[in-house]
Each structure stands twice: as structure tokens, then as C-alpha cells.
Copies of this chain bind each other. A is one copy, B any other.
Amino acid sequence: GERRAKAERMFGLMDGFLKSDPISLQKDILNHVEYTVARSRFSFDDFEAYQGLSHSVRDRLIERWHDTQLYFKRKDPKRVYFLSLEYLMGRSLSNSVINLGIRDEYAEALSQLGFEFEVLAEQEGDAALGNGGLARLSACQMDSLATLDYPAWGYGLRYQYGLFRQLILDGFQHEQPDYWLNFGNPWEIERIHVTYPVKFYGTVEEELLNGKKCKVWIPGEMVEAVAYDNPIPGYGTRNTITLRLWAAKPSDQYDMESYNTGDYINAVVNRQKAETISSVLYPDDRSHQGKELRLKQQYFFVSASIQDIIRRFKDAHNNFDEFQEKVALQLNDTHPSLAISEVMRVLVDEENLDWSRAWGIVCKIFSFTTHTVLAEGLEKIPVDLLGSLLPRHLEIIYDINFNFVEELKKRIGMDYNRLSRMSIVEDGAVKSIRSANLSIVCSHTVNGVSRVHFELLKTKLFKDFYELWPEKFQYKTNGVTQRRWIVVSNPSLCGLISKWLGTEAWIRNVDLLTGLREYAANADLQQEWKMVRKVNKMRLAEYIEAMSGLKVSLDAMFDVQIKRIHEYKRQLLNILGIIHRYDCIKSMNESDRRKVVPRVCIIGGKAAPGYEIAKKIIKLCHAVAEKINNDSDVGDLLKLVFIPDYNVSVAELVIPGADLSQHISTAGHEASGTGCMKFLMNGSLLLATADGSTVEIIEEIGAENLFLFGAKVDEVPMLREKGTDMRVNLQFARVVRMIRDGYFGFQDYFESLCDTVDGGSDFYLLGSDFGSYLEAQAAADKAFVDQEKWTRMSILSTAGSGRFSSDRTIQDYAENTWGIERCRCPF
């Protein structure tokens, strides 16, 4: 009665959804400037305008997000929970308004107020809660999950400090903490009431419950996990899903003992340390094994997420009978693999299910994707550390392993070597848990990230497991979202594509891009295509000039390698090639020089703070650039630029401006690579080894449309074995000698860098690939001279990039791994 009347009153007060005509948008922006940002609406700067603008977008996101969540709740479909410790979201503003379909309305509204949308969008800082490929992949997949209407949740950590900012001083990398929340974050919704306790340390005791022996974990420390929801809008749909990130807060539940003032202050300051659990992203995905804080982060993340997932399930179900029909849990690499033991623990210890019933459930809900190539890269957790931090989990993992090994013995007999290789527990100097083995044993599906990677898994990395359970193994070649990587970051190309395809439908259905093939040689398209590319190169050239003062020629080939600095990615090979080119130019006469294709070589990427060799590569790049760029013999024929602080928004700017891009990892070292896909989509030609996803790219666009070189995956071991026996490429020896001789200065400093490729120690085979690398570069030069041919290759690159959309990846996961169905929220 009365309650009803009041509800109707509230309904009556609601004007329906927020309007998106320019006047409404303007009012909303100004109101946010005045009331949310608390600035006067008559005097505010670009940043404050950005804040007002983004809050008005947030309001519109919230409407759809609410409706989607309600709809999912009502429909109760099977949901996928994507567990990842890293997300590299980058900026949200442009992406949001484009996915919401109100980009132009906003641009119009702002221009009437005297602001430019692009300028305000530049005010946003990157959300850089991840290191590189794996993290950006998570972000692309979230976009696809939302766009394809899948009932999905992303879970992650809300680091207060994202990936360090790279500062270059005198050519050396310095790391600056990225306190990215400094200026507020309108894209998240703090859910102060969505909190869970997370426990650590303590002991396990045995208790009798109804005559049944139970294990009870008496924790020694407790912190609170608080949810921050980041709405992820789909494109061309009302669906807006949730990326839920957890932050650590001191727990209120424990009383604090303190008997004098000094103790009280210390006690409070100590509690505050709880917050440091989620405070900082580890800056490298490999070298932090055995660090307690890292393990704490992993469990903190897993525990909060699993509590939340089980709570949501129990809200709608009275028992666990349907759990596996309603829940799919995706492990993004092994980082969240403690989720397996956590689900077992909750089901057995807290929900009082039998071990075997719980085990049956666990085996049906987990799927696992590995991004690793080498056995050395697999994560291990020292047993001592795990036993102290999570005593009950260690017990559970031991029990899982016991059952598994018993079973295995029945299947394969007493092959102790194989048993010990496959055991979840590794005996050795440091007894450890092998997270990958745990993940494989407990998952129904194990995925690789490209076909090459899949072959490696079957034949090397997980050979034993593949032979045991071939049906578990699949692969889904990675993909990237064309929404961010074309529509957001390359609007001119986006317009051109839609124009020639006669539709925007490719933005949701990327296979349509192949339609461009038939116009690849069309002179009109070629003309327009070149114009678009020129505009993007101009934007990049302006950025380079603003950043470094260096003026570069737009007629030069823009040759880009941007990605994390790593020996296996071989930025050094690139630099050595540049030195070679420089050396050649120096020794040419005037008329020969006139035939040289001018190049602007662009390198960018961060080195892990503890990775000395990678840092030396950065310094070498700067030293070589210093020499070349100031040599008047060279002029516009060759320039070398290092773009500092590579991140998503830098990528959005650089990729559309690249003529050529390099993906030159030693074959067998790149699991997939996603950078190459972004370049491909944007019509950059690839200069690449046959590694990771490149192999599949070749299939799509044909080997004649890119510049391939170097040893193949199966040649690498043999070449390594030969080692010192090989005759060294003379040109290679010469350029290394130039560095060693101090031609670029810093002679002593570069010595150890040269040692990594010189003589017998050239693990990544720079020397043996150098010859074919130079040939590929020459081929690229040759192709570039023929602009008609180059442009055709460029169009065909874009036209063939459809298979590398994360939409395809996600659909494959949904159908073949997770078993989920679309759930589209009605308008």
C-alpha cells in the first residue's frame, strides 16, 4: 500500500534515461564541474573540464551497467569469471563514449562550450595495472566480452601504484612510481559495502563436527577487501559488464590492544600496512618468485573474488548442485591458481561438502590459459612460504597431489622420472609448488595462445600432461579489439574503412574487413589510404618533435618497434641493424646516398627495474641516436628516436603512424604477441620472424605481404647447439666491434651487453639471424619505393586482420572452453 505509493512516486520523479542531445550534455558537464569537481562553471581549466565530462559519461555508463546487472540477475545464465592479476586498460573516456555511441554528440556539445573533445581526452592518465601483452589482452577481452553480450565478470587488483613510469635521464631509464589515483578516477565506483575479510597465516586445527573430522583454519592476520567496480560498456549493445578490482583496507573486526600512547600510534600505523597488500603492481611478470608480498597479493585477490562469486551463486541457489552449470572460472596464467585450493577449501571446510564432491565440482569449473613458452618461466611457490602464509591451502594442495599421483601411477605405472616431472610438488633445493601443474591437473581445459605456442605445449612444455590428457589441450590465438585499436585510436582509418565497406558493421563483425581485399589495387582507395596514413604520420611526427625536439621527414619510412624491452624480443638486433645502416650511409658517396630510402626508426618500451641488460639496450639506443641524429652526413636519411614511457595511450598514437613494424623475437620465444595484430589492423607492414601469432598472420595475408626472416622454431635448438662453430656474419661482427671500440661512448658500460651476443654466448641468435634480417630490411626498402605496391600490401594487411580480433578469441573461448551463452540486455 503505502510503500507501493512511495515507489511509484520515485518512479514518477525519474525522467527516464539521461538525454544525450548537446544541450543536455552541456548542462550535465557544467553541473559536474560546479558540483562534483567543485569549480566555478565560469572558470575551469581543461583538466577540470575533463573531470566534468567524464563524470557525465560515468552517469550514462551507470544507467546501462545497472540495467545489465539486473538483467543478468534475473536471467541467471552461466557466467564466466575472468581472473587476472593484470589489466592494462589505458584511458577510458574515448572508448566509453564511442561504445556508448555518443562520441559525436559530445564533440558537438563541447565545441559549443569552447572545448575540443580530443584535447580533453588527452587529460586522462592511463590506468596501467599491468606489465604488457598479458595485461593488455585481458583488457581487449573484456571489451569483447561486453560487446558480444556474454555474462562475464572480470576480477583483478586495484593497485594504487600501476606500472612504473619510465623517465629517461641522459639516456638511462629511471623508474618513477605511478600514483595514478592522485587525481581521482571517475571510471570506478567504490562499493563500500561490498567487502570481504581475507585471512593469512595462523594454524590449522582439527575439530569434530557432527562426528565428522573437520579442518579449521585459525588465521593470524586479517585484512578487508573492498570492491571497486569499473563498468565496461559493449559496442552496439546496452550490455555493460563489470571489471571488479579489489583494494585492501585494514580490517575493523579485530580489537587493537595497546597499553600506552606510543603503542597505540604504532598499532594504528601497523594496521595501515594492510593497505600495502594491493598497493603496488610487480613490475615484471617473471622475476618475483618466492616473494611473500606477491603471494599475499595473489591470495588476497583470489580469496576476495571467490567469496564474491560464491556469494552471488548462493544468492540464487540453495545448494551446490548447479554450481558447475552456472560458474566458469578462467585462470589467466597461473597467477590466480590459488583459486583452485581456495574453492576446495571453501567447499570442504566452510560449506561442508565431501572432498570427492568438491573435487568433482572444481574439475568442472576451472579453465586455464598459459602464456609461457619456457619451462624456466613457470611459476613456483616455495612450500615454506605457502605453509606459513596459507597453511590450510598447502594441506589441500598436498591432498590434491596425493590423489593425482596415485591415479597417475595407475595410468602410467612406476615411471618415477615422469611421475616426478608431473607432480604438483617439486622436490629440490627449495621444495616448491608448481602452479602450472596444479592448474593443469584441476582444469578441464588448458589453452595456449597461438598455434605455434600450442605445438610447443604439446611437444615440450606440457608434453607429459598432453600425452595423459590430450583432450584437455586447446588453443585460442590471441586477439585485440578493433574498437580501441581502430575506432578509438585511428578515427580516419575507421571512417575510410566504413566508407569503402559501405557499413560500420565490421566494428562488431570484424570478418567483414576481408571485403577490403577487392579494392586493394583500387587507385581511389589507395589515394585515400595514403592520405589517412600521412595524417597519422604527421600526428606522430608532431609528438616526436614536441617530446624530443627532433624534426623528422614525413617522406621517410616510419619503422617502429615498441614493446617491453627484453633480450628475446631483440631490440638489440634492431639497433645493430640501424648501426649497420648508418655505417653504410657513412661510407657512401653523394649519388649512392640519393638512392637510400630515408628511415625514421622508432623504438620504445620499458625495461623491468631489475633487468640490467635490458636497461643497457635502452642506453645503447640513446647513445646510437645521439650519434646518428647529430651527424650531418646522414641528415634525413636516418633518424633514431626512443619514445619514452611506452604505454597504451602512446601505442594508440604510434601504431597508426607506423609504415613498418618489427616483431623480431627469436623463434619459439613469443607465445603469441598482440602488438603485431594492432599494427596489422592499422595497415602497418610487418617485418617479423615466424614466431607466435605471426605464423597465422602469414596464413591470412600471404607471405608476400610481409617481410619474414630468420630461423624457424624448429631450427633454433640446432643453431644453438652449433653455437661457436658457426661462421660469424662479418657485418654483424663489425657493428658489435664498433660498440666495443667505444664508437658510441660508454665503452665499459656496453661491454657486458656485447658479451651477450658475441662469440659463443649468443643465446638469442642475433648473429645467425643478422644476415637474413638485413635482407628483409632491404626488401622493405625496395617495397617502399614502389608506393603503389606498398599501399596494396598495407590495405591487404588491414583486410586480413579480422582473424586477430579478440571477438573471435572470445567467441571461441565461450563456445569451446567456458560453455556460456550470450545474454543480451534489452533496450
**Residue A827 at the chain B interface, CB threshold 8 Å:** no
Which of chain B's residues have a CB closer than 8 A to the CB of A802?
none
**Residue A414 at the chain B interface, CB threshold 8 Å:** no
**Residue A167 at the chain B interface, CB threshold 8 Å:** yes
Contact call B175/A38, Cβ cutoff below 8 A: no
Most chain B beta carbons < 10 A, residue from A30, A260, A272, A288: A272
**Residue A609 at the chain B interface, CB threshold 8 Å:** yes
Contact call A14/B30, Cβ cutoff below 8 A: yes
The answer to whether A283 and B257 touch (CB under 8 A), given A38-B189, A250-B177, is no
Contact call B261/A272, Cβ cutoff below 8 A: no
Which of chain B's residues have a CB closer than 8 A to the CB of A3?
114
Could you jot down 8 A-B contacts, CB within 8 Å?
Answer: A6-B114, A160-B272, A177-B256, A179-B249, A182-B192, A184-B190, A261-B283, A262-B610
A264 to chain B, nearest CB (A): 4
Which of chain B's residues have a CB closer than 8 A to the CB of A7?
42
**Residue A174 at the chain B interface, CB threshold 8 Å:** yes
Which A159-208 residues have a C-beta within 8 angstroms of B?
160-161, 164, 167, 169, 174-177, 179, 182-184, 189-193
**Residue A263 at the chain B interface, CB threshold 8 Å:** yes
Contact call B34/A161, Cβ cutoff below 8 A: no
Contact call A167/B255, Cβ cutoff below 8 A: yes
**Residue A276 at the chain B interface, CB threshold 8 Å:** yes
**Range of interface residues on chain A?**
35 or more
**Residue A271 at the chain B interface, CB threshold 8 Å:** yes
Contact call B38/A260, Cβ cutoff below 8 A: no
**Residue A135 at the chain B interface, CB threshold 8 Å:** no
The answer to whether A609 and B177 touch (CB under 8 A), given A35-B59, A164-B264, is no
Given contact pairs A265-B282, A265-B291, a sample of 18 additional A-B residue pairs in the complex whose CB atoms are under 8 Å apart: A2-B114, A9-B26, A11-B42, A13-B26, A13-B27, A14-B30, A36-B36, A38-B62, A40-B70, A175-B258, A176-B252, A176-B255, A177-B256, A182-B249, A182-B252, A260-B610, A263-B610, A265-B293
Contact call B13/A23, Cβ cutoff below 8 A: yes
Which of chain B's residues have a CB closer than 8 A to the CB of A14?
30, 41
A275 to chain B, nearest CB (A): 8
Copies in the complex: 2
Our pick among B70, B177, B191, B283 for the contact of A271 (Cβ within 8 Å) is: B177
Complex CA gap A126/B357 in Å reads: 49
Which of chain B's residues have a CB closer than 8 A to the CB of A41?
10, 14
Complex CA gap A7/B112 in Å reads: 10
**Residue A617 at the chain B interface, CB threshold 8 Å:** no
Complex CA gap A70/B262 in Å reads: 44
Which of chain B's residues have a CB closer than 8 A to the CB of A279?
268-269, 272
Chain B, residue nearest A60 (CB): B35
**Residue A108 at the chain B interface, CB threshold 8 Å:** no
A138 to chain B, nearest CB (A): 22
Complex CA gap A551/B572 in Å reads: 82
A511 to chain B, nearest CB (A): 36
A670 to chain B, nearest CB (A): 22
Which A234-268 residues have a C-beta within 8 angstroms of B?
249-250, 252, 255-265, 267-268
**Residue A343 at the chain B interface, CB threshold 8 Å:** no
Contact call B256/A176, Cβ cutoff below 8 A: yes
The answer to whether A259 and B610 touch (CB under 8 A), given A3-B114, A35-B62, A62-B35, is yes
Which A63-77 residues have a C-beta within 8 angstroms of B?
63, 66, 70
Contact call A6/B113, Cβ cutoff below 8 A: yes
Complex CA gap A183/B194 in Å reads: 11
Chain B, residue nearest A177 (CB): B268
Which of chain B's residues have a CB closer than 8 A to the CB of A480?
none
**Residue A85 at the chain B interface, CB threshold 8 Å:** no
Contact call B283/A264, Cβ cutoff below 8 A: yes
Contact call B169/A255, Cβ cutoff below 8 A: yes
Which of chain B's residues have a CB closer than 8 A to the CB of A256?
174-177
Most chain B beta carbons < 10 A, residue from A10, A11, A182, A282: A10
A542 to chain B, nearest CB (A): 25
Which of chain B's residues have a CB closer than 8 A to the CB of A6?
112-114
Chain B, residue nearest A27 (CB): B13
Contact call B609/A259, Cβ cutoff below 8 A: yes
A21 to chain B, nearest CB (A): 13
Complex CA gap A27/B14 in Å reads: 7
**Residue A280 at the chain B interface, CB threshold 8 Å:** yes
Most chain B beta carbons < 10 A, residue from A63, A193, A609: A609
**Residue A751 at the chain B interface, CB threshold 8 Å:** no
**Residue A608 at the chain B interface, CB threshold 8 Å:** yes
Which of chain B's residues have a CB closer than 8 A to the CB of A174?
255-257
**Residue A284 at the chain B interface, CB threshold 8 Å:** yes
Complex CA gap A824/B269 in Å reads: 43
